Copies of this chain bind each other. A is one copy, B any other.
Amino acid sequence: MPEKKRILVIGGSAAGPKAAAKARRLDENAEIIIIQKAPDLSMASCGYPYYVGGFFDDRNMLLCTPTGVVRDPKFYLNAKGIVARTETEALKIDRKKKTVLVKDLVKGQDETIAYDKLVICTGAVPKRPPIPGADLAGITTLQSMQDADFLRKVRDDKVIKKAVIIGGGLIGIETCEALQLAGIEITVIEMLPQLLTFLDWELAKLVENHVRSKQANVITDNGIAEFLGENGKLTGVKLQNGIELPCELAVVAIGVSPNVKLAKEAGIEIGVTGGIVVNDSMQTSDPDIYAAGDCVESLNLITGKKVHAPYGDLANLQGRVAGENAATGNGATFPGTIQTGICKVFDFSAGSTGLSEKAAHTAGFTNIETVINASPDKPGFMEGLLLVTKLVVDKKGGRILGAQCVGPGDVSKQLATWAMAIKGGLSVDDMVNADLPYAPPFSLAIDHSIATAHIMQNKLKGRMKGISCLEVRKKLDDGEKPFILDTRGPDEYEQMRLGIGEHLIPLGALRNRLAEIPEDKSSEIICYCKISLRGYEAARVLEGNGWKNVKVMEGGIMAWPFPREK
């Protein structure tokens, strides 16, 4: 045993270096060692798509401190007093002897290192589809610095013309943008009916429409059956429905699994999600061993269920807690996650915090209400951009369960606002009077988030009967004939319209044209406008005049995910 306390950290990407650095700040005398299999350390892996896409050209920017110093072993030793051993693989944990067997991958030598406290940050491994042809050249993931280097070279070489992205999740979509910007013709293939499964279908569809508008192809409801090749090189992919797509590059982005081989072999408890079980001190089933980052499972604070949440921000927060506790005993806690995520999708951003409608159902919330709001982030005179938000609340007490937001506007601020509302356990009644920073360069006088809460409050109080675009489409497809009322002006109607049999009566004319509404006051009437603010006012006018079954199509034309007549 060493004389000084020795803290050994396995993994040098996000959680590992964070844990090591935090431990150092709390114990200047401990011996701290990082074991890292890859040649690089502290890679900003969430930045890979932006390096590949050419947002910046200097690879070192992914590896350096804000002042431009590359975080290599020399940096760790001098600035942090941490020994970082790269190209060194941890092979086996002996919990009884409190040692780890490691292999120097350059020299080929094995070595046993003793620890007082061990922190496992082995991350996650990309899933691979179990199909023929998976070993052809031209198939990659975007998980490692080496993957990023490979795809960046693809960009710079300008040889490859066609690529497929397998998987329409966050990494898939970010990679789609990166390669599309590299001038490559892209097809995204997703097995499920939608991209970005953290969104509900109707918001995901808006993102899909935006991706298509950038000349990237999207195929949903279809998996990949086989990689096709010649002379060991990828030449195409065959889909499950038999279609073959020629391509020279395939990026597999169908998710990741926690990398728990070492922990499992050492008899450390693994959870139902496949991640290492930790308590809120980030301590595993072995009290001398902590774990953090993409290899652990976390508590979802809304559902109370364990989830695998491989997010870069959580890895850092967990690493900080694991490092502190490894150094000084269990004084810090990481309570869990509400699974907040965001990604850039060309000129859109898309993200979610808390539960989607789908996730709320899965988690057993049976008494929920949802609303969709479309409105700009700022006034028109400050060039406001559209946001479309879907809010999910528990009807009992109006507790906020989740919010999703997509669009060209400032999605990030919306999600931060909702994430904090959920963190604070706030209800719709709290949000309707939120006191947010307002000035025209930053928001509307009534911020989009607050307006969303207002609409939800109107629904909960029974003042607005909402109907989603999806439900309207379904009604029409089922042959129902509701009276559909577009309340915009004739100019707007000429420029853009749904063409679903709607009647145009501008809001300003409605009170004088009530004779054109079906006489039967129990007729189903569906009102909308561009964003359904005027649609809502029209519904109030009709209800005030005796109609009993008036609905507002939420989000209006801006939330309509289907093809339009014009």
A binding-site residues for B, Cβ under 8 Å: 14, 24-29, 44, 46-47, 50-51, 55-56, 58, 61-62, 64, 66-69, 75, 78-81, 174, 311-317, 320-321, 333-335, 337-344, 349, 351, 353, 375-376, 379-382, 410-413, 415-417, 419-421, 423-426, 430, 432-443, 445-447, 450, 454, 463, 488-489, 492, 507-509, 511, 530-531, 534, 536-537, 540-541, 543-545
* Shortest beta-carbon distance from A360 to chain B in Å: 17
Determine the distance from Cα of A54 to Cα of B419 in the docked complex, in whole angstroms.
Answer: 36
Are B50 and A316 in contact, with the CB atoms below 8 A? Answer: no
Contact of A420 among B81, B379, B417, B534 (CB under 8 A): B417
A424 contacts across to B, CB distance below 8 A: 420-421, 423-426
**Chain B residues, Cβ within 8 Å of A410:** 412-413
Identify the closest chain B residue to A14 (Cβ).
B445
Which residue of B has the minimal Cβ distance to A538? B79
Q: A25-B463, A411-B437, A420-B423 are in contact. List 16 more A-B contacts (CB 8 A).
A: A26-B463, A28-B543, A29-B544, A50-B382, A61-B381, A78-B508, A79-B508, A313-B436, A313-B445, A315-B445, A333-B433, A339-B435, A343-B439, A416-B416, A416-B447, A421-B423
Q: Name 16 A/B residue pairs within 8 A (Cβ), A-sorted.
A: A25-B537, A29-B544, A46-B445, A67-B492, A79-B537, A174-B439, A313-B436, A313-B446, A333-B433, A340-B438, A342-B438, A342-B439, A415-B437, A417-B417, A419-B437, A424-B424
Given contacts A66-B380, A445-B44, A445-B312, contact A353 B435 (CB under 8 A): yes
Given contacts A44-B381, A46-B445, A417-B420, contact A439 B317 (CB under 8 A): no
Bound CA–CA A382/B29 (angstroms):
36
Interchain CB contact (< 8 A) of A349 among B423, B442, B534 = B442
Shortest beta-carbon distance from A382 to chain B in Å? 6
**In the complex, which residues of chain B have a beta carbon less than 8 angstroms from the beta carbon of A430?**
423
Complex copy number for this chain: 2
Q: By the criterion CB–CB under 8 Å, are A67 and B488 in contact?
A: yes
Asked if B426 and A426 make an inter-chain contact with CB atoms under 8 angstroms apart, the answer reads no
The answer to whether B534 and A437 have CB atoms under 8 Å apart is: no
Q: Are B440 and A416 in contact (CB under 8 A)?
A: no
**B381 x A540 contact (CB < 8 A):** no
Q: How far is the CA of A338 from the CA of B66 in the complex (A)?
A: 34
| Interchain CA distance A62-B381 in the complex, whole Å | 7
Interface of A, helix, strand, loop or mixed by DSSP = mixed
Contact A344 B441 (CB under 8 A): yes
A335 to B431 CA separation, bound complex (whole angstroms): 11
Residue in contact with A47 in the complex, picked from B44, B55, B421, B440, CB distance below 8 Å: B440
Complex contact A437–B381 (CB within 8 A) = no
Interface centre among A340, A415, A437, by most chain B C-beta atoms within 10 angstroms, is: A437
Contact between A412 and B442, CB atoms less than 8 A apart: yes
Minimum distance in angstroms from A290 CB to a CB of chain B: 16
Kindly state the separation between the CA atoms of A344 and B66 in the bound complex, as whole angstroms. Answer: 26
Cα(A509)–Cα(B543), bound, Å: 75
Q: Are A381 and B28 in contact (CB-based, < 8 A)?
A: no
**Chain B positions within 8 Å of A61 at CB level:** 379-381
A29 to B544, CA, bound (A): 7
CA distance A380 to B81 in the complex (A): 25
Other-chain residue from B75, B79, B311, B534 in contact with A438 (beta carbon distance below 8 A): B311
